[in-house]
Amino acid sequence: MINTGKLAGKTILITGASRGIGKAIALKAAKDGANIVVAAKTAEPHKILPGTIYTAAEEIEKCGGKALPCVVDVRDEAQVQSAVEQAVKKFGGIDIVVNNASAINLIGTEELTMKKYDLMQDINTRGTFLVSKLCIPYLKKSSHAHILTLSPPLDMKSYWFAPHVGYTISKFGMSMCVLGFHEELRPYNIAVNALWPRTAIQTAALDMLTEKQGAKYSRKPEIMSDAAYAILIQDPKSPKATGNFYIDDDVLRSNGITDLDQYCNDPAYKDQLMPDYFVGEDPKLQSSRSFLNFDKETSAEKGQSAEPQGQVAGLFKKIEASLTEEVVKSTEASFQFVVTGKEEGKWYLDLKSGSGKCGQGEAPTSPDATLQMDSENFFKMFTGKIKPATAYMTGRLKIKGNLQKALKLEKLMNSLKTKL
């Protein structure tokens, strides 16, 4: 997406702009010569996450923009108010708000603590409402006023809620803000829209979730920043410029950009990109081509039955025979598997000492993670046709307990692949 200069001199307040998609949007606007308010929590370097509000500000100014780094926790009204006042004092007003800050916790209802539930609601829904609310008086005075929120289309299907009710409520709460603000603020020529990615985007959150294995199956943050730029340069007075729930690649195609391969982290995997949440059909019904299709021949094409009798039991026998001290050292975790469907049953895999143990029934010691999955998908996961991270992100794998240790199965799959 070529810069047009239309955002030159415009003041844009972006929450969560110290890294990831928020920073990518800031850098894109900075190339026009925009003023960027970097509203984020990270003032000191984080031990894991890259970037601070100050390093982001330096990058913005190197790109040709002006930056105002502000320490902002969007849950704190006083901090948000202070950032707004500083922006108005330094730049004379606020033209655009980008609600990017978000919290994610993809676990089921019983396992989600109320503290984590409240965190997601406070950052996602309440934070979007609060930041927008405090900026509205200044947006009303702007001749180019926009609110852009990074939230999904309001597709009220139960399968978007079931795997992680708490998270979905918080993200749909952001989208409900978009729907309401659009109608409320339309008389003031303030365009209000949402933007969401069709595929997974490589961010620090994705890297942590998939232990960086998801990078090649995702797109770069720049696809979101280019799409955001295309939205924000629109005339807010245009009736079509407000009230939209945009998807990133749709925006780019409508602006004449047909080469989407440029946004892939690894173009070799352009046909195996992970779909993002809340887009498309029921994840359980999506074809394997929609996510990680490692074996394009189906069982039927190979002349085999879809699920041979006893394949899960046979699989565990092969796993048991393949366990080594090296495999244990690379995993260091114990798992309880609850298999549903045609081969219903419980299995365990203890990879904490020696050469490991596995068998049928309850785990002899408390497992680090309990994983529940249909037997057909379970077999596919252990034979490399479905990645554990992908199965989890698409709702086919349910995890209780330590998520990070559960996703170590990715490494285990790779080490056992040739033997299974």
Most confident of 176-190, 290-304, 375-389: 176-190
The pLDDT confidence band at residue 211, using thresholds 50, 70 and 90, is low
φ, ψ for residue 170, nearest 5 deg: -70, -40
Task: Write the Ramachandran bin of 70: left for phi over 0, alpha for psi from -120 to 50, otherwise beta.
Answer: beta
Q: Over 90: is that where the pLDDT of 32 sits?
A: yes
Q: Which residues lie across from 39 on neighbouring strands? A: 15, 70
- What pLDDT digit, counting tens, does each position of 361-396 carry? 888 888 888 888 888 888 777 777 777 777 777 677
- What pLDDT digit, counting tens, does each position of 45-94 carry? 877 777 899 999 999 999 999 999 999 999 999 999 999 999 999 999 99
Q: What is the pLDDT of residue 414?
A: 66
Q: Over 70: is that where the pLDDT of 9 sits?
A: yes
**Token output for 95:** 């033209």
Rounded CA-CA distance 63/83 in Å is 22
- What pLDDT digit, counting tens, does each position of 329-366 carry? 878 888 998 888 888 888 888 888 888 888 888 888 88
Q: What is the pLDDT of residue 420?
A: 57
Whether 36 and 17 have beta carbons less than 8 Å apart is answered as yes
* Beta strand 345-351 pairing with 357-360: antiparallel
- What pLDDT digit, counting tens, does each position of 89-123 carry? 999 999 999 999 999 988 889 889 999 999 999 99
Rounded CA-CA distance 271/261 in Å is 10
Domain map of the chain by residue range?
11-267, 311-416
The pLDDT confidence band at residue 209, using thresholds 50, 70 and 90, is low
Q: Measuring CA to CA, how many Å separate 95 from each of 122, 206, 253?
A: 24, 31, 26
* Beta strand 333-340 pairing with 345-351: antiparallel
> Higher-confidence residue: 319 or 145?
145
Q: What is the pLDDT of residue 309?
A: 45
> Higher-confidence residue: 327 or 307?
327
The side-by-side arrangement of strands in the sheet containing 245-247 is 66-71, 35-40, 11-15, 96-99, 145-149, 190-196, 245-247
Topology of the domain comprising 311-416? Nonspecific Lipid-transfer Protein; Chain A (3.30.1050)
Q: What is the pLDDT of residue 299?
A: 31
% pLDDT > 70, the chain: 88
Q: What is the CATH number of domain 11-267?
A: 3.40.50.720
Is pTM, for the whole model, over 0.85? no
Rounded CA-CA distance 252/231 in Å is 10
The pLDDT confidence band at residue 212, using thresholds 50, 70 and 90, is low
Whether 389 and 407 have beta carbons less than 8 Å apart is answered as yes
Active centre residues (catalytic) = 167
Q: Over 60: is that where the pLDDT of 293 sits?
A: no
